[in-house]
Structure 1
Amino acid sequence: MAESHPPLRSYGRLKTRAIKPRQAALMETLLPSLRPPAEPFDPRALTPAGAEAWLEIGFGGGEHMAAQAARRPDVLILGAEPFQNGVASALRHIDEAGLANVRVHDGDARDLMARLPDACLARIFVLFPDPWPKTRHNKRRIVQAETVAEFARLLKPGGALRFASDWADYVDWSLLRLTADPAFRWTAERADDWRTPPADHITTRYEEKRLGDCAPVFLDFVRT
């Protein structure tokens, strides 16, 4: 029997600096109550008002996730982030805002997605993921044909997928793979549709740093 191998990591370091004492305490006290079930589950069963569920893949410091959750208390937002400092930061935002509609998976998003049923999500966000800019590392990018197929499986018909990046090559890479899947329709009709942040977008401190090689590009897709 062929030996199975785990998927390549789509993220870099798990920790870069010491976590501040308050955030470290939240990792011990708050995080356990926010983790989604370890077994297969339907996120719609966890929504406060039974409305819908969203997923943010790689939420960074949690600013966008927390702000979206505050705007829509009727929506359950699942967030996945393996970077420990980012998880600690997100917990602070969640705690300060008193948010009850967020669940945090402190690990690989693909592990979380595998536990979710078909057509259970209304929105997926993949915002400024690790670009893996070196050609030999491109295979580590989170957007691959197989993950696009998983996005399609998880989104209900009419559901929305948003990808954003400030690396031109990653934008081209993702656009090619998303438009190649017939399950997705790109909504852009003019250049401003991808050059201008969408009306409901929340700009984060990471985005403002402009660490990439181009202005931020926003690609919005609909699940057909």
Structure 2
Amino acid sequence: MSEDSQDQVQTEWRNFYGRRHGKTLRDSQRVYLSEDLATLSLQGVDREENPERLPLDLAEVFGGAREFWLEIGFGGGEHLVHMAASYPEIGIIGAEPFVNGVAMLLGKIRAAGVTNLAIHPGDARDLMDVLPEGSVAKAFLNYPDPWPKRRHHRRRFVTQDHLVPLARVMAPGAEFRIATDIPDYVRQAVQEVPKAGFELVAQGGEPWADWISTRYEQKALREGRVPHYLTFRRR
């Protein structure tokens, strides 16, 4: 690596907040990670393998996909696999740094047999650095980490540090969906997302027609919290 490339890698280093590992993985999940992850992981996202941050060739990744979607923080993968099965003509990328979630997703992919998914097992910001401009037709942010303490609100995804890169990779007219059970997250999303180049087109308690309730939503309902669904469109 040249000195210029090394400087670039250093310059682009960023803080990451949140968990990467949880409870001990089951034996089957270890098998999924060892046998399936390398095949499904996007190549060219990590800075060490792509120091110049060249754009990914999504047509090469997904073959004849009609368009490309992105899920940011897919949790256990229920929604991601559901959408892949429902829309086999779409190439869908899931970004998730939590290893346990990645392992759960890989098990669901095996069970469902879907073939139109790719995974970035890391920070979504690194992925957005190398997605081509205007390449994403739809993006999903489902039950993101709420960071409830006020001093931690800057760590939420709905800040300009995350939203501006997302807006860059989304096509004009592209849809950005957010599902959350945290009223203050709704407030911040309504306030911040339009600043990055989106317009709010719908919000309320009714989910989208193709929505599948996730484990995080079920937990929220059990604990008495009310889901809220927001739809933005890229201007």
TM-score above 0.5: yes
1:31 and 2:42 correspond: no
Structure 1 position 141, deviation (Å): 1.0
Instruction: Find the aligned partners of 1:122 and 1:44 in 2 and give their Cα distance.
Output: 14
Q: Is the 8 A contact 1:44 1:51 kept in 2?
A: no
Instruction: Report if aligned partners of 2:41, 2:120 keep a CA contact under 8 Å in 1.
Output: yes
1:202 counterpart = 2:209: no
3-state SS of 2:130 partner: coil
* Pair 161,223 (structure 1): closer, same or farther in 2 beyond 3 Å: same
Query: What is the one-letter code of the residue matched to 2:192?
Result: R
Stretches of structure 2 lacking an aligned partner (at least 5 in a row): 1-6, 45-49
In structure 2, relative to structure 1, the CA distance for the partners of 1:213 and 1:143 (3 Å cut) is farther
Superposition map of 1:67-216 within 5 A: 67-181=82-196, 183-188=197-202, 193-210=203-220, 214-216=225-227
- Structure 1 residue runs of 5 or longer lacking an equivalent are none
CA distance, structure 2, for counterparts of residue 44 and residue 131 of structure 1: 34
TM-score of the superposed pair, with normalisation by structure 1:
0.90
Alignment correspondent of 2:16: 9
Q: Distance in 1 between matches of 2:212 and 2:219?
A: 14
Provide, for residues 104-129 of structure 1, a one-character-per-residue CA deviation record: whole Å limited to 9, x for no partner.
11111111111111000101101111
SS of the equivalent of 2:109 reads helix
> RMSD between aligned alpha carbons?
1.9
Residue matched to 1:219: 230
Partner of residue 71 from structure 2, selected from 41, 56, 65? 56
Alpha-carbon spacing, 1:19–1:223, altered in 2? closer, same or farther (3 Å): same
1:7 is matched by which residue type in structure 2? R
SS in 2 for 1:180: helix
Q: For 2:58, which of 26, 43, 46 is the aligned residue?
A: 43
In 1, the alpha carbon distance for the partners of 2:11 and 2:60 equals 33
Q: Is the 8 A contact 2:157 2:163 kept in 1?
A: no
SS of the residue 1:222 aligns to: strand
Distance 1:132 1:43, change over 3 A: same
Give the Cα–Cα distance (whole angstroms) in 2 for the partners of residues 121 and 101 of structure 1: 15
Cα distance, 1:184 vs structure 2: 1.1
> Does residue 1:22 correspond to 2:28, yes or no?
yes
Question: TM-score if structure 2 supplies the norm length?
Answer: 0.86
Change (3 A) 1:199 1:48: same
CA contact (8 A) 1:81 1:105 kept: yes
Give the % identical residues: 40
* CA distance in 2: counterparts of 1:4 and 1:71, whole angstroms: 40
